[in-house]
Amino acid sequence: GAVVSQHPSWVICKSGTSVKIECRSLDFQATTMFWYRQFPKQSLMLMATSNEGSKATYEQGVEKDKFLINHASLTLSTLTVTSAHPEDSSFYICSAIQSIRGYTFGSGTRLTVV
């Protein structure tokens, strides 16, 4: 079955530094990947749609300069949280799509900014 690997699973960083999160499709090519953010005991909020070879599409209210997305290959999308602050602490999850019915999610990255 389709597998999406997300790395790292958790990261702690100092305020003001940048953090990169990777999302890889292991056994299929994903022209489209999605990045979500989830606060404790809440649902997933779509941040952006990552398209291979083109610019990401950001949801309303998401700062594109804050959350840099790069989808340079058919199997890898990266999310970089720039100049992270404590309010950026959250659970970040990526997903990849094989077809309109086939979404596979990564296992998430717990970001803590201290």
Partner 1 sequence: TQLLEQSPQFLSIQEGENLTVYCNSSSVFSSLQWYRQEPGEGPVLLVTVVTGGEVKKLKRLTFQFGDARKDSSLHITAAQPGDTGLYLCAGGSNYKLTFGKGTLLTVNP
Q: Restricting to residues 56-85, which ones interact with partner 1 according to CB under 8 A? A: none
Tell me, residue by residue from 15 to 44, as one string, x for binding to partner 1 by CB under 8 A and - for no binding: -----------------x-x-x----xxxx
Q: How far is residue 112's CA from residue 52's CA, in Å, rounded to a whole number?
A: 28
For the sheet with 4-7, list strands across it: 4-7, 19-25, 76-81, 67-73
Which contacts qualify for 52-57: CB closer than 8 Å, 24 or more apart?
52/77
Name the pairing type of β-strands 76-81 and 19-25. Answer: antiparallel
Q: Report the residue from 93, 96, 111, 113 that binds partner 1 according to the rule CB under 8 A.
A: 93
Per CB under 8 A, the segment of 13-21, 65-73, 74-82, 92-100 that binds partner 1 is: 92-100
Binding site for partner 1 (CB under 8 A): 4, 6, 32, 34, 36, 41-46, 49, 91, 93, 95, 97, 100-101, 103-108, 110
